[in-house]
């Protein structure tokens, strides 16, 4: 089986929105907005791939199923996935070997600026080994925890993975998470120890870690330097020898999985597809199992790494397909495509991504609402893990409540809006989705369910109408040098975490597992962890459901007037500390006035913290 931000500009009342976020993060000054000149540039980083710019169409029928390998590169952030992908592209002649080949598959401007992979990218490599021509379909995946959804989608189109581990840093938290994604999908795993050229590299220690944590024999590890190209040829040979060809049938009716998609304003939706059965060619009529709509295929091809049209795509191959889908809702990730008179059983698809962080997004000027709406719709087809709900605010006007997989995901989405669609926005403080079990029969009738999800703190129901509140929890994995274990444990305890496991992965490194309330780690936990461990600790998490909690809604008042945009949900034990911090930050951030301003944090009618902005006397 196939098994941060181009920050919105902060105007007027919106400064208070930043102030709350700063209060959580412990920041004093907002960051500068990147220059808008970048937004006028091309939508994606334009690069030339001289070897790959072939005019003639490739005949894909010459690649039998036995000579096809579909694989992904997975790793912790910054362990060298994209550099290894660059070397593989050079080795197979897909791109010319030049000094400019850095992050070739990272096409978004935000990826190249930040040096991270945000979108999984596909490239078809043609490789000659022992007289046979092989088709190797490579998918380069993101490494950051916020984009693990991209990784799981990419693995659905593969039969094997290259698990890249830094020879200096060793196994990190995201390495563990990515391994188990591949293991659960029953994929062949080839461990690759990268950066052996570094001064402090210790490949033997990393081999022992891999053997202990993943139960993979150390002799299966391939030691390479992707930067220098050392031993990279062995990686290609291992892909051919150790990853099985896809189990597909070309004579069966067409069955294609849409595992990713992008939007082009001139050609509509470009769907990335993996063919499980059959053949698809230009001019074919196809049906979407999700929408039941019929489309005509305008173009099929492979990514090489730029788009390379072909006559047909065959079962076992990975490529792209353009079929006149103009509406952003038509290309559903996980959809199955088939031929009109040959219906098939739809493929299982994917679990829908579960948003971990919600924030309000509003246009700076309400006259820009429709333009921003169009930009958000187009960007969400490229990033289907973002959820969108309409919202409105007295101070900020009409907007949306957006759900993201994490803070970096939110920042990248905002930066892409600015760079690709020239849109500047106001973002409110991020919150997590809480739940409430209602006790009032009237409310149950109104909501049509007993348990409701709250994504906007202003809509948090009163305690008198609720049996219990529930907060989201996550299972966090921390890998740290053992000298920082005590500090890390103290940090976790301060965040209301419960320890679940502790294990030494080698003589000097410890893997800790903790159950965290999501709202305790969502804003500044990662920064605090990096700071106290001198940058050596790594962190990864997975959803662990909900638990009951003693939650309260905290209002912020300016001169007795409630500011709805600053409402926060906090744990009762931390209400005073958080309220005091927010009041102090607002006092430092808000512009001085000619009259006294009382800044108060309140739970119900009880004031729990107060700061007073003193009057500025006019100069004589």
Mean pLDDT of 537-550: 89
Tokens of 564: 């709805």
> 182 exposed, middle or buried (CB, 10 Å; 0-12, 13-18, 19+)?
buried
Q: Which pLDDT value is given to residue 5?
A: 32
Banded pLDDT at 43 (limits 50, 70, 90): very low
pLDDT digits (tens, 9 = 90+) for 393-421: 877 888 899 998 888 888 889 888 888 88
Q: Which pLDDT value is given to residue 34?
A: 40
Reply yes or no on whether the pLDDT at 8 is more than 50: no
**Stretch among 269-283, 340-354, 537-551, 582-596 having the lowest mean pLDDT:** 340-354
Radius of gyration of the chain (CA): 26
Known binding residue 37? Answer is: no
Known binding residue 46? Answer is: no
Count other Cβ atoms within 10 Å, centred on residue 18: 22
Reply yes or no on whether the pLDDT at 55 is more than 60: no
Known binding residue 81? Answer is: yes
Q: Which pLDDT value is given to residue 143?
A: 60
Known binding residue 141? Answer is: yes
Q: How far is residue 147's CA from residue 382's CA, in Å, rounded to a whole number?
A: 13
Mean pLDDT over the full length of the chain: 82
pLDDT digits (tens, 9 = 90+) for 212-249: 999 999 999 999 998 898 999 999 999 999 999 999 88
Helices (H), 215-344: 232-242
For the packed helices 14-25 and 575-589, what is the interaxial angle rounded to 10 degrees?
A: 130
Reply yes or no on whether the pLDDT at 21 is more than 50: no
Domains of the chain: 14-33+361-426 (3.30.70.870), 64-242 (3.40.50.300), 255-338 (2.40.30.10), 434-549 (3.30.70.240), 552-613 (3.30.70.2570)
Query: b/e for 203-216, b at 16 or more Cβ within 10 A?
Result: bebbbbbbbebbeb
Q: Which pLDDT value is given to residue 40?
A: 39
Q: How far is residue 188's CA from residue 543's CA, in Å, rounded to a whole number?
A: 25
Residues 6+ apart with CB under 8 A from 300: 280, 281, 282, 309, 310, 311, 312, 313, 319, 320, 321, 322
Count other Cβ atoms within 10 Å, centred on residue 373: 17
> 79 exposed, middle or buried (CB, 10 Å; 0-12, 13-18, 19+)?
buried
Known binding residue 94? Answer is: no
Reply yes or no on whether the pLDDT at 453 is more than 50: yes
Reply yes or no on whether the pLDDT at 385 is more than 90: no
H helix or E strand, kind and range, residue 369: helix 369-382
Known binding residue 77? Answer is: yes
Q: Which pLDDT value is given to residue 62?
A: 85
Mean pLDDT of 250-259: 89
Banded pLDDT at 603 (limits 50, 70, 90): very high
Known binding residue 196? Answer is: yes
Look at 251 and 29; give whichever has higher pLDDT: 251
Q: Which pLDDT value is given to residue 405?
A: 84
Tokens of 69: 């390998």
Known binding residue 146? Answer is: no
Q: Which pLDDT value is given to residue 620?
A: 53
**Stretch among 39-53, 428-442, 489-503 having the lowest mean pLDDT:** 39-53
pLDDT digits (tens, 9 = 90+) for 109-164: 665 666 666 666 788 889 988 888 999 998 777 766 666 666 777 788 889 999 99
Banded pLDDT at 351 (limits 50, 70, 90): low
pLDDT digits (tens, 9 = 90+) for 173-195: 888 888 988 898 899 999 999 99
Mean pLDDT of 79-99: 81
Known binding residue 12? Answer is: no
Q: How far is residue 559's CA from residue 215's CA, in Å, rounded to a whole number?
A: 62
Residues 6+ apart with CB under 8 A from 315: 65, 246, 248, 249, 250, 252, 275, 276, 277, 278, 279
Q: What separation, in Å, do the N-terminal and C-terminal C-alpha atoms of the chain show?
A: 82
Mean pLDDT of 77-99: 81
**Stretch among 64-68, 113-117, 468-472 having the lowest mean pLDDT:** 113-117
Count other Cβ atoms within 10 Å, centred on residue 452: 18
Cis link prior to 314 (omega < 30° from 0)?
no
Mean pLDDT of 450-476: 89
Residue among 545, 530, 528, 544 at smallest CA distance from 476: 544
Reply yes or no on whether the pLDDT at 39 is more than 60: no
Known binding residue 195? Answer is: yes
Mean pLDDT of 529-543: 88
Count other Cβ atoms within 10 Å, centred on residue 575: 23
Q: What separation in angstroms does the CA of 524 have from each of 76, 520, 531?
A: 20, 8, 11
Q: Are 250 and 315 in contact (CB under 8 A)?
A: yes
Known binding residue 79? Answer is: yes
Total-model pTM: 0.74
Count other Cβ atoms within 10 Å, centred on residue 458: 16
> 111 exposed, middle or buried (CB, 10 Å; 0-12, 13-18, 19+)?
buried
Known binding residue 376? Answer is: no
Mean pLDDT of 72-92: 85
Residue 438 CA to its chain's centroid (Å): 33
Q: Which pLDDT value is given to residue 148?
A: 67
Q: Is 584 helix (H, G, I), strand (E, B) or coil?
A: helix
Q: Which pLDDT value is given to residue 47?
A: 38
Reply yes or no on whether the pLDDT at 42 is more than 50: no
Reply yes or no on whether the pLDDT at 425 is more than 60: yes
Residue 245 is given by DSSP the state P
With a pLDDT cut of 70, the percent of the chain lying above it is 83
């Amino acid at each position: 089986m196939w098994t941060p931000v181009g920050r919105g500009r902060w105007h007027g009342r919106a400064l208070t929105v930043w102030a709350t976020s700063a209060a959580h993060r412990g920041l004093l000054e907002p960051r500068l907005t990147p220059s808008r000149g970048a937004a006028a540039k091309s939508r994606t980083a334009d690069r030339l791939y001289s070897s790959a710019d072939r005019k003639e169409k490739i005949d894909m029928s010459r690649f039998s199923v036995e000579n096809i390998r579909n694989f992904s590169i997975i790793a912790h952030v910054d362990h060298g996935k994209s550099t290894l992908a660059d070397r593989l592209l050079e080795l197979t002649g897909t791109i010319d070997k030049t000094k400019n080949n850095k992050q070739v598959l990272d096409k978004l401007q935000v990826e190249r600026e930040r040096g991270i992979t945000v979108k999984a990218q596909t490239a078809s490599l043609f490789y000659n080994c022992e007289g046979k021509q092989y088709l190797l379909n490579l998918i380069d995946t993101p490494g950051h925890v916020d984009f693990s959804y991209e990784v799981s989608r990419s693995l659905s189109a593969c039969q094997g993975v290259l698990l890249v581990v830094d020879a200096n840093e060793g196994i990190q938290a995201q390495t563990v998470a990515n391994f188990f994604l591949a293991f659960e999908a029953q994929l062949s795993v080839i461990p690759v120890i990268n950066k052996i050229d570094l001064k402090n590299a210790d490949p033997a220690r990393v081999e022992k870690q891999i053997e202990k944590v993943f139960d993979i024999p150390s002799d299966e590890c391939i030691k390479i330097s992707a930067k220098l190209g050392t031993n990279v040829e062995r990686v290609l040979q291992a892909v051919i020898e150790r990853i099985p060809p896809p189990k597909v049938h070309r004579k069966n009716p067409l069955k294609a999985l849409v595992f990713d998609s992008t939007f082009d304003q001139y050609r509509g939706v470009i769907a990335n597809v993996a063919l499980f059965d059959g053949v698809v060619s230009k001019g074919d009529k196809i049906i979407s199992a999700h929408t039941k709509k019929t489309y005509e295929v305008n173009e099929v091809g492979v990514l090489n790494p730029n788009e390379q049209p072909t006559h047909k795509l065959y079962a076992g191959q990975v490529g792209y397909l353009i079929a006149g889908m103009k509406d952003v809702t038509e290309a559903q990730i996980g959809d199955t495509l088939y031929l009109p008179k040959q219906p098939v059983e739809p493929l299982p698809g994917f679990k829908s991504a579960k948003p971990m962080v919600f924030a309000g997004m509003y246009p700076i000027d309400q006259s820009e609402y429709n333009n921003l709406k169009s930009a958000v719709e187009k960007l969400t087809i490229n990033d289907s893990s973002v959820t969108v709900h309409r919202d409105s605010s007295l101070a900020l006007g009409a907007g949306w409540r957006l759900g993201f997989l994490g803070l970096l995901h939110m920042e990248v989405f905002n930066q892409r809006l600015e760079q690709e669609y020239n849109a500047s926005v106001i973002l409110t403080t991020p919150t997590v989705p809480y739940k409430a079990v209602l006790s009032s029969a009237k409310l149950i009738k109104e909501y049509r369910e007993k348990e409701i999800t709250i994504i906007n703190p202003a809509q948090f129901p009163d305690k008198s109408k609720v049996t219990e509140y529930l907060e989201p929890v996550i299972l966090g994995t921390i890998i740290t040098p053992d000298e920082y274990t005590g500090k890390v444990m103290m940090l976790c305890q301060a965040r209301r975490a419960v320890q679940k496991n502790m294990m030494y992965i080698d003589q000097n490194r410890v893997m800790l597992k903790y159950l965290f309330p999501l709202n305790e780690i969502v804003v500044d936990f990662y920064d605090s962890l990096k700071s106290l461990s001198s940058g050596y600790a790594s962190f990864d998490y997975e959803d662990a459901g909900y638990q009951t909690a003693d939650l309260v809604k905290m209002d912020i008042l300016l001169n007795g007037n409630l500011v709805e945009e600053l409402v926060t949900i906090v744990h009762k034990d931390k209400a005073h500390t958080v309220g005091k911090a927010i009041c102090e930050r607002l006092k430092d951030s808000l512009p001085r006035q000619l009259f006294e301003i009382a800044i108060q944090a309140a739970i119900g009618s009880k004031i729990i913290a107060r700061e007073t902005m003193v009057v500025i006397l006019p100069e004589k």
